[in-house]
Structure 1
Amino acid sequence: MGLSFFKNTPMAISHKKTIATGQSRRTTFALVSSAENSTTDYQKQYGYIEDIKDWRGYTAGIIGFTSKNGDLRQVILKYQKLRPNNRLVRYLPALKRIEGTATHKGLGPNFVKDWHKVANDKRFIQAQDIILDQQYMQPALKAAKADNLGPLGQYIYYDAIVVHGPGNDNNSFGGIRRKSKKLADSYNQAIYLKTFLKVRSKVMRKETAHQDLSRIKTQQKFINEKNFQLKRPLSWTMYGDKYH
């Protein structure tokens, strides 16, 4: 199936407008933050860090970079370039050693305290934004552009890549997208996005931390409302909490 056929159907939506900038970016970040941090105030999440017991070690920052998959280390490497000899540099060797595991060895409470201490440093915030855009936002937008998806589809792709990672195995964003394109039986964008969410739901249920499918139900709600431009006002429920 080729989703480029969307551009020849009434459901086609221009991808010239993206969630990379402006209000669409702020809306997307607020939506993701409501799921990741139980608040729409995403700008205060750069200093967030904890072990959420999902076997990914520490989860930290605006979108939950983790010590296990290495993007948390990438943030600190970028921060080192922007502000050399910062207080997090000393943890780089430990982060490299534990990559791929859920251990805290070499990090611990001091790492958490130091992460909090640099939370308001503009260079630290910039480092997180750079890694976020490089590893998550741009890959999501590239895939959405290829599939001719508008802002809602872009947000759905971005949220998936944040949670599942940008890989190509069956449990990562690439695998979910690949299977969805095979299963979707229509070139209608709404039907495809619902298929994508159905495939993603099965992947999420494999993890204890993601048994609650609030983020999927929220995205299904926006599809049913035909809000493909992700225009405000928006109302949604995330893990029992109501947002607007």
Structure 2
Amino acid sequence: MRSVVLGGGIAAVLCVPLAVSVAAGASSSDVVLTGDRPVLASATESIAWPASGATDTDSGTRWSSGAAGPGTQWVQIDLGTAQEVRRVRLHWARAYAKAYRLQVSDDGATWRDLYRTSTGDGEVDDVRGLSATARHLRVLATQRGTPEGYSLWEVRAYGPGRAAPAAPSAATAEVPPVAGGLNTAAKKEIALKIVSSAENSSVEWRSEYGYIEDLRDGRGYTAGIVGFGSGTSDMLAVVTDYTRRKPGNVLAGYLPALRAVDGTDSHDGLDPGFPGAWRAAAGDPVFRKVQEDARDRMYFLPAVRLAEADGLRALGQLAYYDAALMHGISRLRSIRERVVARQRTPVQGGDEIAFLAAFLDARAAEMRTGAAHSDTSRVDTAQRALLNAGNLDLVTPLTWEVHGDRYTVTG
């Protein structure tokens, strides 16, 4: 048994040595706060090993994440009401976490660390001397101790409060909607809103089909829902596809000029009519669908697939997509390669939080190399703020800042 004693509140917890110490006795009046409480997991291997197996009273049941999926997984327990947590006892199965965090939250979206370790060795961890009051408790496993994933026979939290009544009907939800990546419609919409706040100073990205202007950044005209550029080939691709689907549209006549200016910041052959034609085309549902398909084909899907291959959850997928949109897929890969040279991905056995923090550092450094992207708030006060809040799954409510403006998504 690993028995760890902490003291002095959260500040002391975060700097506690990771060596095992002799446990101090917990109060005999403390009760189990987690028994048969509603529990969610980021993933479950099968119906035989559900999330509720970690909190029920049956010693023969357990939760297992399985080996597939992101390298970071979690079990989250609703204590029913704000409870003081003094002790957490984890009984690991064979598949244990080498690195994990015990976290608490008031709303299930913003998390704060109670305890963290990177030297877990499985079996039983009895962490005492905790001091926090919150409604939700999470075990966030960030680095595998075995290739099999993570599995817990038991998660028990103790505190002086009165245990909330069991809610067995709520414990049937094993894989919550919030755990999906950006390949789910709800999470994709959240990601598009966050990116739009940086690109358009609004979360209403659907209002931007007709946007067009020259930002004087060397890319010619920037237009549409993700800033297609007349000098960066993607605007040419959009108009080409639009003309294929709807010949004779108002933009078709500008294709020769778009081909000529591609790779430059020139407006030759586009002025004065092209901006007005773009805005007129934005009223056409076919043109709007072309823009969405181009966004997904050129930026969104390649970035999300790369993030999934690295074992990143929704926040990491957002970070890759935003980088691809600003820098292009090839530059995203270059940024990632610089990070991988010194930091393992979750699939390689690395800690997802550490890897994503390093990626955001590299991304911000890349942005600062050009004057047009020197404002790194989309990284520092948006994506990094969500990472610091432990919101790897983009669970609402979300709050972030970009360019000094504050945004919130409630659902």
TM over 0.5: yes
- 1:121 is displaced (CA, Å) by 0.8
Shift of 1:206: 1.2
Alignment-derived partner of residue 243 in structure 1: 407
1:221 aligns to what?
A: 385
- In 2, the alpha carbon distance for the partners of 1:41 and 1:20 equals 20
Deviation sequence 1:10-40 (CA, Å, 0-9, x none) = 22799x8331342211111111111001011
For residues 397 and 70 of structure 2, the distance between their equivalents in structure 1, rounded to whole angstroms, comes to 30
Partner Cα distance (1:108, 1:173) in 2: 33
CA distance in 1, matches of 2:188, 2:283: 21
The one-character-per-residue Cα deviations of 1:31-67 (angstroms, maximum 9, x if unpaired) are 1111001011101011111111110111111011111
Q: 1:5 to 1:113 in 2, by over 3 A?
A: closer
* 1:1-244 superposed matches below 5 A: 6=71, 10-11=141-142, 17-167=180-330, 172-184=331-343, 187-217=350-380, 218-244=382-408
Distance in 2 (CA, whole Å) between partners of 1:67 and 1:166 is: 18
Hey, what's the Cα distance between the residues in 1 that align with 2:181 and 2:387?
17
Which has more radius of gyration? 2
Structure 2: gaps spanning 5 or more residues: 1-68, 73-94, 98-140, 144-148, 150-174
Once the two structures are TM-superposed, the CA of residue 173 in structure 1 deviates from its matched residue by: 0.8
- Whether the 8 Å CA contact 1:183–1:195 is kept in 2: the answer is no
What is the rounded CA distance, in whole Å, between the counterparts of 2:184 and 2:361 in structure 1?
Answer: 28
Question: Does the 8 Å CA contact 2:367/2:373 hold for their aligned counterparts?
Answer: yes
**Could you report, residue by residue, the CA deviation over 1:187-210 in whole angstroms, capped at 9, with x for unpaired residues?**
110110110111111110011121
Q: Which has the higher contact order (CA 8 A, sep 6+)?
A: 1
SS at 1:90 equivalent: helix
Q: How far did residue 233 of structure 1 move? A: 0.7
User: RMSD across aligned C-alpha pairs, in angstroms?
Assistant: 2.1
TM-score (norm 1): 0.91
The question of whether the paired residues in 1 share the 8 Å contact of 2:314 and 2:392 is answered with: yes
Letter paired with 1:209: A
Deviation readout 1:209-233 (Å, 9 max, x if unpaired): 2111110111111111111111111
SS of 1:108's partner is: coil
CA distance in 2 between counterparts of 1:181 and 1:51 reads: 36
Q: Helix, strand or coil for the counterpart of 1:231?
A: coil
* Percentage identity across paired residues of the two chains: 37
Decide which structure has greater helix share: 1
Using the size of structure 2 for normalisation, the TM-score is: 0.55
- Preserved contact between residue 316 and residue 392 of structure 2 (Cα < 8 Å): yes
| Residues 1:91 and 1:20: Cα distance change in structure 2 (over 3 Å) | farther
Distance in 2 between the 1:95 and 1:144 partners?
32
| Counterpart Cα distance in 2 of 1:5 and 1:152 | 12
Runs of 4+ with deviation above 4 angstroms: none
Shift in alpha-carbon separation, 1:52–1:79, aligned structure 2, 3 A? same
- 2:70 and 2:308 in contact (8 A); partners too: no
Which secondary structure state, in structure 2, belongs to the residue aligned with residue 158 of structure 1? Answer: helix
Hey, what's the Cα distance between the residues in 1 that align with 2:394 and 2:364?
Answer: 21
**Whole-angstrom CA distance in 1 between matches of 2:282 and 2:355:** 39
* Displacement after TM superposition at 1:185 (Å): 6.1
Q: Is the 8 A contact 1:49 1:112 kept in 2?
A: yes
Q: Which of the pair is proportionally richer in strand?
A: 2
